[in-house]
Amino acid sequence: MSTTPFQVQVADVRADALDVMSLELRAIGGAQLPPFEPGAHLDLHLPNGLIRQYSLTNDWRERDRYVIGVARVPDSRGGSTFVHSSVRAGAQLTIRGPINNFALDPRAERFLFIAGGIGITPIMAMTRWCVANGKPWRLIYAARSRQRAAFYEELCALARDSAQFHFDDESGQVLDVAAAIAGLQDGERIYCCGPTPLMDAVKTLTEHLPPDTVHFEYFSVPDSDEPKESTAFKVRLERSGAAFEIPEGKSILEVLEENGIEHPFSCREGLCGTCLTNVLSGEPDHRDYVLTDAERASGKMMTICCSRSKSPQLVLDL
């Protein structure tokens, strides 16, 4: 992963579906770009000051370009609206990455990909990998309409027999997730990305499966009806020796910033993994959407933008 932001040029902009556009990014001067693996994303630093995460959709073997897909979101907080209205070919953008919190396990026997809407973006790179490596795979792709299904023609050309499409307007209902995954095969790994209702349904229906069988990529923080307690705790930074009280209503990251300590961050919601920090002692209260169950259980790392502490004090490797 490249931790230092760098500039790229928008080589091409094209429409891939209704309200979905792809940006082709190339290194300024034609140099090779840092390598990536399927499932990776970029932090896109927009000229309006926002930082947003977008998945790479192209072939992982390509070093001359990155391709990302951006959907125009009706209730956009300014990211997708800016990209659709202002980013054009020839523009220069600052990016950071690639970063991969949704890595494809090459040891798996076979794959089931479940995508909803713009959740198809990280899955595109995964299907390309499967085709290139002769891995059995199938895709369930749900969208509101055929016109809104990004990369539809490309997927049909890539391996039409491996893809099952569901369009709400044509079927008169949303995808029946239980029926769609009823034929799960032995050794099949599930990778799911899409709207929260889709991912919640998949999570509920697969709770009985062994750990590491199902993997999720979140684009937004899921709605929750359960308020979480945010009691105060202390943080000590091992390398500097500094210690701080983390009050209710403030994150570790915010307290560090208030005290002049800079640390990489992006989403501030536990979605991107940019602020992951090693934990030397104490028990984190994980509230992110990037760590695996095994990583959380180990207690060796945490996202300091949103996660808190179950113990009175945490010691961080900072």
Taking only the tens place, the pLDDT of each residue in 238-285 is: 999 999 999 999 999 999 999 999 998 888 889 888 899 999 999 999
Cβ-proximal residues to 197 (8 Å cutoff; 6+ apart), any chain: 174
Q: How far apart are CA 56 and CA 75, in angstroms?
A: 23
pLDDT of residue 76: 61
What pTM was computed for the model? 0.86
pLDDT score of 62 more than 80: yes
| Sheet architecture: strand order including 276-281 | 243-246, 233-237, 313-316, 276-281, 301-303
Would you give the distance in Å from CA 179 to the centre of its chain?
Answer: 26
**What is the secondary structure of 281-305 as a DSSP string?**
ES-EE---SSS-HHHHHHTSEEETT
Cα-based angle 260, 264, 270 (whole degrees, multiple of 5): 115
Question: In degrees rounded to 5, what are phi and psi of residue 305?
Answer: -80, -20
Binned at pLDDT 50, 70 and 90, residue 160 comes out as confident
Question: In degrees rounded to 5, what are phi and psi of residue 205?
Answer: -75, -15
The answer to whether 237 touches 243, Cβ cutoff 8 Å, is yes
Lookup: tokens for 278? 């090693």
Beta strand extents in 72-220 (DSSP E only) = 92-99, 110-116, 137-143, 163-167, 188-193, 214-217
Lookup: tokens for 32? 């090779």
pLDDT score of 63 more than 70: yes
pLDDT score of 225 more than 60: no
Q: Structural domains in the chain?
A: 6-99 (2.40.30.10), 110-217 (3.40.50.80), 233-316 (3.10.20.30)
Question: In degrees rounded to 5, what are phi and psi of residue 94?
Answer: -100, 130
pLDDT score of 132 more than 80: yes
Q: Which of 128, 149, 145 is nearest to 137 (CA)?
A: 128
Q: How far apart are CA 271 and CA 274, in angstroms?
A: 9
Would you give the distance in Å from CA 52 to the centre of its chain?
Answer: 10
Q: How far apart are CA 310 and CA 250, in angstroms?
A: 15
pLDDT mean over 159-166: 88
pLDDT mean over 160-176: 93
pLDDT mean over 103-110: 94
pLDDT mean over 29-37: 94
